[in-house]
Chains A and B, each alone.
Chain A
């Protein structure tokens, strides 16, 4: 049948028998190529991790300064002659004094401080102090006085928010070279800041307002905060959670446990796997056309954002939920059916509770994805809107216009003043902290409830 026997006499010695320990030249070459290949693989992983490190260090180094803010701490004399001309402390009269009434008080206070400390300066007018002070300081002082009219006539220690140029100077973003063209501030002001800094009048402290505060107009980056848009994101996530989780679980139960093998089921499956890969911007178009154009829901409302993100997140949740349902062994279902439970009872009493940790993990990961998603929000009007007002209540939280964390970051990054870049990076740090927490919860859930059948 073969020529093995006929040729058997001469063993073809293509490779002469050599000692195993003697490494031939060809083997050397092959081993070198093996080493090279391995090195490529390691290099690829190294490159990926290098990019990760660069990205994270860019975020931290650029964004961490947003959590510190420069303040000027001076005693402010609340002059009754200006704030309460009638002298009867009538709240209505006090409220009539606008921020224009407060600005001179603050400027005077700073100017007096400069003179008290004997700092030599070229400025001889309190009005020149304006460049050091944030435009929002007057409003803050006014709020404080209106809340407590008894303060009028007294001298209170007040932490004045410094202007963004001063803040930038302390953080190294603004230098004497960079302000030569700047109309807002002069080199003399920076000398003044240096002197005030030495005696502690100007100092940096932790910036709670950045985390809890509202967005500010384009000219006041020092005042801008992420708090309101965080609420916007929160309400959106509520919508996503309360719609996507039940709908996603119901759809998965149907497909995994009840769906007959037919064309319609196949069609649903094809739709889900394709929707998972549709670009997020297309969901934005859907949200715009369906919820705003067609259903006339209010623009910029977290409800609309939540609905859009729900549709986007559903496929992710369905896919992970189906995986966890599939992981429950059929023997559990059989056992339930065997004692006379209906199919529905076996699913809801046994399979679903067992699959729950996996479902929750998948849902959290889907939520994290939705939380960071920006593109669809751009189209339904959650940018370009300055989120300065906290929602009044739950209903307005869902329906009144708001921004969301990633949309707010986008908005800041688009603004011209570089001071807003710092805010954008800082916002990213907050966003990433949220994502990190969500992912850690998901990992803990998975570890804790992971079941090996």
Chain B
């Protein structure tokens, strides 16, 4: 399965990585996600689109239980990763998040050196036995984050000193350093300029060969450019889910069509 780079066409061949059934999310009294059922495929970029406040980020944060850190948030329904319920009481959210990494809207490098930023995950998960192995992991992650060439001479400079686009790629490198199986991205390009956006998008396409990537985006062009599958959320409902090409050219639901043509949003 891992022996050949995938091409865009054989998306159908991929197995289901994450499956969600009848998911409800409440913020206090507010019913934020209603009855969402979706199956996300491995080695695929899935885009979540929809107007602001439609619940796409909330749903994304359910997939690695980041919502656990918010006291008033309650999740119902079944979400499983490789067939295992991630909200099972026996599941350690820490182990889950090691498998399902996340990149955030605003680049959030730790106020440490570039090296320590990337090494943080491998260190806490004990992925390296010694310094040499750790060096190797860090270099590999930075290469995969497409930022190695820019920072290799200043690995010990603070990560907060990089430019916005570099910071975001550093955060992606930091996320892939822990060897996740799924990578969640919450509007990773919303704070970036077009050139940095293009670099990150190119990177996302590369990452697809190894991970299942879920990306929340406001930009429909971006969804069309990077994703193979698209899910359209509206007012907490999953309105439509399917091949990106189909959603954008021939949507089934009238709300999807309205959004894509710019009438709601």
- Taken together as a complex, chains A and B put the C-alpha atoms of A11 and B42 apart, in Å, by 14
Name A2's closest neighbour in chain B (CB-CB): B143
* Bound Cα distance from A7 to B2, whole angstroms: 11
**B172 CB to closest chain A CB, in angstroms?**
11
Complex: chain B residue closest to A18, CB-CB: B95
Q: Contacting A21 at CB < 8 Å: which of B91, B143, B145?
A: B91
Interface of A is mostly: loop
Binding site for B on A (CB under 8 A): 1-5, 7-15, 17, 19-21, 23-24, 26-27, 30-31
User: Are B95 and A4 in touch, CB under 8 angstroms?
Assistant: no
A70 to chain B, nearest CB (A): 56
A23 shortest CB reach to chain B, Å: 6
Q: Is the pair A2, B144 in contact by a Cβ cutoff of 8 Å?
A: yes
For chain B, the count of residues having a C-beta within 8 Å of the partner chain is 38
Q: Are B94 and A27 in contact (CB under 8 A)?
A: yes
Query: Is B2 in contact with A10, judged by CB distance below 8 angstroms?
Result: yes
**Residues on B with beta carbons closer than 8 Å to the beta carbon of A24:** 95
Count A-B contacts at CB 8 Å. 74
Judge whether B86 and A20 touch: CB under 8 Å.
yes
From A4, A17, A21, B210 is in contact (CB under 8 Å) with: A4
**Contact residues in A for B81 (Cβ distance below 8 Å):** 20
Residue of B nearest to A24 (CB): B95
Most chain B CB atoms below 10 A, which of A4, A8, A11, A12? A4
Q: Please tell me if the beta carbons of A23 and B95 are within 8 angstroms of each other in the complex.
A: yes
**Assuming A12-B140, A17-B181, A24-B95, is B125 touching A4 (CB within 8 A)?**
no
Assess A20 versus B124: contact at CB under 8 Å? Given A7-B140, A14-B137. no
- Interface mask (B138-182 → A, CB under 8 Å = 1, otherwise 0): 001001111011000000000000000000000000000001010
Q: Do A8 and B99 form a contact, CB below 8 Å, given A14-B137, A27-B92?
A: no
Q: Is B206 an interface residue (CB 8 A)?
A: yes
Looking across the interface, which residue of chain A has its beta carbon closest to that of B89?
A21
| A interface footprint on B87-104 (CB within 8 Å = 1, 0 otherwise) | 010111011101100000
B81 nearest CB neighbor, chain A only: A20
Query: With the chains together, A10 CA to B146 CA distance in Å?
Result: 19
Given A2-B206, A8-B210, A21:B84 Cβ within 8 A: yes
In the complex, besides A3-B140, A4-B210, A21-B84, 19 extra interface pairs with C-beta distance below 8 angstroms are: A1-B149, A1-B202, A2-B143, A2-B146, A4-B144, A4-B209, A5-B209, A7-B140, A8-B2, A8-B209, A8-B210, A10-B2, A20-B82, A20-B86, A20-B95, A21-B88, A26-B125, A27-B94, A31-B92
Give the CA-CA distance A12 to B122 in the complex, in Å.
Answer: 13
Q: Which of A1, A2, A8 contacts B5 (CB 8 A)?
A: A8
Given A19-B84, A20-B86, A20-B91 in contact, is the A11-B2 Cβ separation under 8 Å? yes
- B194 CB–A CB distance under 8 Å: no
User: Hey, which chain A residues are within 8 Å of B143, CB to CB?
Assistant: 2-4
Please tell me if the beta carbons of A12 and B148 are within 8 angstroms of each other in the complex.
no
Q: Are B90 and A21 in contact (CB under 8 A)?
A: yes
B126 at the interface (CB under 8 A from A): yes
Chain A CB within 8 A of B235 CB: no
A452 to B122, CA, bound (A): 45
Q: Does B127 contact A (CB under 8 A)?
A: yes
| Chain B residues with CB under 8 A of A27 | 92, 94-95
Q: Give the Cβ gap from A20 to chain B, nearest Cβ, in Å.
A: 5
Q: Which residues of B contact A23 (CB under 8 A)?
A: 90, 92, 95
In the bound complex, residues from chain A placing their C-beta under 8 Å from that of B99 are 20
Kindly provide the distance from the CB of B52 to the nearest chain A CB, expressed in whole angstroms. Answer: 24
B3 at the interface (CB under 8 A from A): yes
Assuming the contacts A2-B146, A2-B148, asked whether A15 and B127 have C-beta atoms less than 8 A apart, the reply is: yes
The distance in angstroms between the C-alpha atoms of A280 and B86, with both chains bound, is 58
Using Cβ atoms and an 8 Å threshold, which residues of chain B touch A4? Answer: 143-144, 206-207, 209-210
When the two chains form their complex, are residues B127 and A31 in contact, meaning their CB atoms are under 8 A apart? Answer: no
CB distance from A170 to the nearest CB of B (A): 55
Most buried by A among B84, B95, B181: B95
Q: Is the CB of B140 within 8 A of A20?
A: no
With contact pairs A3-B143, A12-B140 given, residues A30 and B90 touching in the complex (Cβ less than 8 Å): no
A14 and B122 alpha carbons, distance in the complex (Å): 10
In the assembled complex, how far is the CB of residue B124 from the closest CB belonging to chain A, in whole angstroms?
A: 7
CA distance A328 to B90 in the complex (A): 49
Alpha-carbon separation in the docked complex, A19 to B148 (Å): 33
The chain B residue sitting closest to A34, CB to CB, is B94
Give the residues in chain A near B84, CB-CB below 8 Å.
Answer: 19-21
The distance from the CB of B228 to the nearest CB of chain A, in whole angstroms, is: 18
Q: Which 5 A-B pairs have the closest CB atoms?
A: A21-B90, A2-B143, A4-B144, A14-B127, A20-B84
Complex alpha-carbon distance, A203 and B219, angstroms: 87
Instruction: Select which of B96, B122, B209 is within 8 A of A20 by beta carbon.
Output: B96
Are B144 and A14 neighbours in the complex by a CB distance under 8 Å? no
Task: Give the residue among A3, A5, A15 with the most B Cβ atoms within 10 A.
Answer: A15
A5 touches B5 (CB 8 A): yes
Question: Which chain A residues lie closer than 8 Å to B145 at the CB level?
Answer: 2
Within 8 Å by CB of B94, from A3, A12, A21, A30, lies: A30
- CA–CA, A4 to B172, complex, Å? 13
A20-B88 in contact given A4-B144, A5-B5, A7-B140 (Cβ < 8 Å): yes
Closest to A3 in B: B143
Q: Which residues on A sit within 8 Å (CB–CB) of B95?
A: 20, 23-24, 27
Across the two chains, which residue of chain A brings its CB closest to B80? A20
From B146, B179, B207, contact of A12 by CB (8 A):
B179
A4-B144, A17-B181 as given contacts; A9 in contact with B94, CB under 8 Å: no
Bound-state CA distance A10–B127 (Å) is 17
